[in-house]
Chain A
Amino acid sequence: MNYEIKLLNSIIESNDYVDAVNSGVENVFIEYRDVWNFVVSHYDDHGKVPSKDTVKSHFSDFEFFNTPEPLAYYVDEAKKESLAFQTRQIVAKAHSLIGDVGPKDALSYLMEQTSKLYKYSSSLKDTDLVSEWRDRYDDLKERSENPDKHTIGIPSGIDVIDKTFGGWQAGDFVVLLGWTGVGKSFIARLFAANAWRAGYRPMIISLEMNKKQEGQRLDTLLNNGEGHFTNTDLIKANPAIVDGYESWAESTFEGKQPIYLITSEGLETADQNMVQAKIDQYQPDMVILDYHGLFDDATGAKNETEKAKNLSKAFKRIAVKNNVPIIDVAAVTMAEGHGDRPPELEEVAWSKQLAYDADLVLAIHREFNSDLFQVVSRKVRRATHFGFYLRWDLETGKWAEEWDVG
């Protein structure tokens, strides 16, 4: 028997329209969508589910059955069946596209459709904040008693951000803004390295650098000025540090959780669907996207500003949907020169969209050849604005927050 009929029977018999809607049944109806639409419209008009007789009078072929199980059972069954049916349809269509238009387009179709399907198949997580106050109390108590858990989210490693903003929390969309070449990517990697040190699994999607460059940068960051080697030692392959590197790397990396790196080597398309697919594949604790301008927009933007807006919206949704913080690196360019200062929000072409989507926008600046980074929030969703300096030797990886810069 068709799962849609069983579910409709259960809804009609139980008169439990609200629970059905809250369970997200909307997307499971395909063959009997007309009957479902009738139920919805009837409920809207009369505040109740139509009786069997009323349904029969409009849909004479509709069959009625006993539904002895609770509504939740039929909802679960219908969702599973519907997901299986739609998955089969997508796979079959992708299979035929391989022959018709080639594997690249077939893969693109597959990624786009599976991403949509995943979205429909996730249940909404509604909650009652009043009745759940004790959960918040328990969380507060646990964090207050454990110094390592003072930060709600993943620690950035930077005291100001963790104390003011609470670290990177599930669903956060954080944007690092800066003029070209000021070290935004370094800061993003610093966040990844610090999260990893705290026991989390970061994922970096780097469209700018290759695997070797990324590896060297991360090694230097994790070395953190301990003196085992410098960034130049790694780039020039200094023979004097090879043995020291081996013992450092062994003690640093062996038995630890992964740091996922996705580079553009071999990637045909890097768009929002790819980001979702990689999150599905690796289930990381945080995601770094480097950088915004190099990503493609799967929805077909007509110009760069529209593309930046679409991607901003898509990345925020991905962050929320997957309960994962996303840190997005974005360069600000100007037709004429810019000041020696962190950029303002209105200097970004897609500033309005950014203001809607981002939970935190950090503007970053570094004067030419300086080791002093200026960092300031341009939008903060859950705190007051903050700013600070980072003194950072990019050669040794040693960094520290600083207030007195003279």
Chain B
Amino acid sequence: MKLTGESLIDLFKSYSEKSSKLFIPDSPRQDQVADSLAKHYDGELLQKAVKWYIDNRPGPFLVFEFAVESREMVEKVKYENEAKSRFQDIVAETRKRMEDS
């Protein structure tokens, strides 16, 4: 999944609206910051990181403030993905053991 700076800002607006939290427009700074974020991170991870950030913080939100914490947010999303994948692997291994026994 590929994100652009513009689509990232749209994501911020949409997630904030869905969570009934305030998004503060910050142009022109937010456009440059969003472009930079979109170029630097994988699109799927970034999208999940934004969702996690908005779901778990009270707001209001600025793209700039997210950018400062973006590394931590993306790492958190990676950790969650790996944890879910580990769980599925263990279930698959258990199933195989049970069927073989």
Q: Given A339-B80, A341-B87, A376-B87, A160–B94 Cβ distance below 8 Å?
A: yes
Q: Are B91 and A403 in contact (CB under 8 A)?
A: yes
Q: Are A339 and B84 in contact (CB under 8 A)?
A: yes
Q: Mark A352-384, 1 if CB is under 8 A from B, else 0.
A: 000000000000000000000010110000001
Q: Are A163 and B84 in contact (CB under 8 A)?
A: no
Q: Are B91 and A339 in contact (CB under 8 A)?
A: no
Q: Does A344 contact B (CB under 8 A)?
A: yes
Q: Are A387 and B80 in contact (CB under 8 A)?
A: no
Q: Which residues of B contact A163 (CB under 8 A)?
A: 98, 101
Q: Does B1 contact A (CB under 8 A)?
A: no
* In the bound complex, CA of A386 to CA of B91 (Å): 7
Q: Are A385 and B98 in contact (CB under 8 A)?
A: no
Q: Which residues of A contact B80 (CB under 8 A)?
A: 339, 341
Q: Does B42 contact A (CB under 8 A)?
A: no
Q: Does B55 contact A (CB under 8 A)?
A: yes
Q: Mark B50-65, 1 if CB is under 8 A from A, else 0.
A: 0010011100000000
Interface set of A (CB-CB < 8 Å, partner B): 159-160, 163-164, 336-337, 339-342, 344, 374, 376-377, 384-389, 403
Q: Which of A337, A340, A384, A388 contacts B91 (CB 8 A)?
A: A388
Q: Which residues of B contact A337 (CB under 8 A)?
A: 52, 55-56
Q: Does B95 contact A (CB under 8 A)?
A: yes
Q: Given A160-B98, A163-B101, A339–B90 Cβ distance below 8 Å?
A: no
Q: Are A342 and B87 in contact (CB under 8 A)?
A: yes
CB distance from A144 to the nearest CB of B (A): 15
Q: Are A387 and B98 in contact (CB under 8 A)?
A: no
Q: Are B98 and A159 in contact (CB under 8 A)?
A: yes
Q: Given A163-B98, A337-B56, A386–B90 Cβ distance below 8 Å?
A: yes
Q: Are B90 and A385 in contact (CB under 8 A)?
A: yes
Q: Are B56 and A336 in contact (CB under 8 A)?
A: yes
Q: Which residues of B contact A341 (CB under 8 A)?
A: 80, 83-84, 87
CB distance from A204 to the nearest CB of B (A): 28
Q: List 16 A-B contacts (CB under 8 A).
A: A336-B57, A337-B52, A337-B55, A339-B79, A340-B84, A341-B83, A341-B84, A344-B83, A374-B87, A376-B90, A385-B90, A385-B93, A386-B90, A386-B97, A387-B90, A403-B91
* In the bound complex, CA of A166 to CA of B77 (Å): 36
Q: Which residues of A contact B87 (CB under 8 A)?
A: 341-342, 374, 376, 387
CB distance from A400 to the nearest CB of B (A): 14
Q: Mark B64-101, 1 if CB is under 8 A from A, else 0.
A: 00000000000000011001100100110111011001
* In the bound complex, CA of A143 to CA of B14 (Å): 61
* In the bound complex, CA of A341 to CA of B81 (Å): 9
Q: Which residues of A contact B98 (CB under 8 A)?
A: 159-160, 163
* In the bound complex, CA of A163 to CA of B101 (Å): 9
CB distance from A156 to the nearest CB of B (A): 15
Q: Are B55 and A389 in contact (CB under 8 A)?
A: no
CB distance from B9 to the nearest CB of A (A): 23
* In the bound complex, CA of A272 to CA of B4 (Å): 58
CB contact list, B12-44 vs A, under 8 A? none
Q: Which residues of B contact A389 (CB under 8 A)?
A: 91
* In the bound complex, CA of A160 to CA of B97 (Å): 10
* In the bound complex, CA of A387 to CA of B83 (Å): 13
**Besides A160-B98, A339-B84, 17 other A-B contacts (C-beta < 8 A):** A159-B98, A160-B94, A337-B52, A337-B55, A339-B79, A339-B80, A339-B83, A341-B80, A341-B83, A341-B87, A344-B83, A374-B87, A384-B97, A385-B90, A386-B90, A387-B90, A388-B94
CB distance from A343 to the nearest CB of B (A): 9
* In the bound complex, CA of A386 to CA of B55 (Å): 31
* In the bound complex, CA of A5 to CA of B14 (Å): 85
Q: Are A403 and B83 in contact (CB under 8 A)?
A: no
CB distance from B100 to the nearest CB of A (A): 11
CB distance from B85 to the nearest CB of A (A): 10
Q: Which residues of A contact B101 (CB under 8 A)?
A: 163
Smallest CB-CB A-B distances: 10 pairs: A337-B56, A387-B90, A339-B80, A387-B91, A386-B94, A336-B56, A403-B95, A341-B84, A341-B83, A387-B94
Q: Which residues of A contact B79 (CB under 8 A)?
A: 339
Q: Are B52 and A376 in contact (CB under 8 A)?
A: no
Q: Which residues of A contact B97 (CB under 8 A)?
A: 164, 384, 386
Q: Which residues of B contact A374 (CB under 8 A)?
A: 87
* In the bound complex, CA of A377 to CA of B97 (Å): 15
B52 — nearest CB in chain A belongs to which residue? Answer: A337
